[in-house]
Structure 1
């Protein structure tokens, strides 16, 4: 029997929440992700780029998954006193959750595992530590990379991917590289 795991934070809310409360909620939800879920999520990441040529195939699957997994481990060990306490914008948070939910397919176990995994990680990166959804230095076709200048992060494909409906770029804190 397949039991659907539900993230308690994934219910849309209209009550104010701060970064500390969100972190504690994400940490609790991270405990629902087990090794089997992580393996399924990794398999999904590998299959999603099956027809992408190297080196991008490895960059978009294995390397990206390592970034996600390291961020996931960071969630579990992060202490509330290590983050800046800020109010979470309920409208932006609801938009992010809706976007994540729209991209899920619970009938596909691998996709569902990946979606639950990245939903925790992406919310953490976006709303708590304010980091890009891809690692700095990640290479895109044409040799373009995610960069930072000490103040902002820049992505060479942000504006191109935001409208695709398959990415989460609209929630990433990166600015488009053309804004540099």
Structure 2
């Protein structure tokens, strides 16, 4: 476990090597094991720092959006972190050993994006909390990989409010997001790798989430 979160040890070369290892995953079980190996390098202190910086970013958002979105941002990161570690340590990931990744080509592109994305600091989006530290940004991507490529769920939780009153919506035939394609020009956005489909209905969707 590391006791520092300053990010010096997470060089571009190290993150590239991590991304290369992740890209070698062929099954969901492979990916869980590789992700847990990296996540176990984050100490409790590291997680406290990440949580503190997340809270700092949330506090910059306008009210009442700030209060509405806060629990979703925390769930997006820390609930999933707890979930993957519990899944692995309880042996619950054994049934994933032979399950293929839902879209190997998309996952490969995700892994290609990660090294550069960890050093992209011009993110002003209210939808994607950012950390100006490669180690913290890598944590964000590791959790997103678990959510999107192991659980096959959207990177942002269903019901999470976005500016404008919209949210990721779960329908009978899958996940939908009205703003998914708006992130296409942001190469490091997890939205580009999300299993949610672009929603065509411009009606506010938050109340339709179950």
Which residue number corresponds to residue 107 of structure 2?
93
Which residue number corresponds to residue 67 of structure 1?
76
Which residue number corresponds to residue 124 of structure 2?
none
Contact 2:101 2:150 in 1 (8 A): no
Asked if residue 156 in structure 1 is aligned to residue 178 in structure 2, the reply is yes
Q: 1:169 to 1:25 in 2, by over 3 A?
A: same
Contact 1:88 1:127 in 2 (8 A): yes
Asked if residue 104 in structure 1 is aligned to residue 113 in structure 2, the reply is no
| Rounded Cα–Cα distance in structure 2 between residues aligned with 1:71 and 1:131 | 11
| Rounded Cα–Cα distance in structure 2 between residues aligned with 1:43 and 1:142 | 26
Which residue number corresponds to residue 19 of structure 1?
28
Give the 3-state SS of the residue equivalent to 1:153 in structure 2.
strand
Structure 1 residue 130: Cα displacement: 0.2
User: Larger deviation: 112-121 or 22-31?
Assistant: 112-121
Contact 1:19 1:86 in 2 (8 A): yes
Structure 1 residue 121: Cα displacement: 0.7
Give the 3-state SS of the residue equivalent to 2:176 in structure 1.
strand
Aligned residue-pair number: 180
Summarize the alignment of residues 101-140 of structure 1 with structure 2, pairs less than 5 Å apart.
101-105=115-119, 111-140=133-162
Which residue number corresponds to residue 4 of structure 1?
9
Structure 1 residue 26: Cα displacement: 1.2
Which residue number corresponds to residue 37 of structure 1?
46
| Rounded Cα–Cα distance in structure 2 between residues aligned with 1:131 and 1:94 | 18
Structure 1 residue 93: Cα displacement: 2.3
Structure 1 residue 49: Cα displacement: 4.5
Which residue number corresponds to residue 81 of structure 1?
94
> Unpaired segments of 5 or more residues in structure 1?
none
| Rounded Cα–Cα distance in structure 1 between residues aligned with 2:188 and 2:63 | 21
Q: 1:50 to 1:167 in 2, by over 3 A?
A: farther
Structure 1 residue 35: Cα displacement: 1.4
| Rounded Cα–Cα distance in structure 2 between residues aligned with 1:61 and 1:114 | 18
Structure 1 residue 140: Cα displacement: 1.4
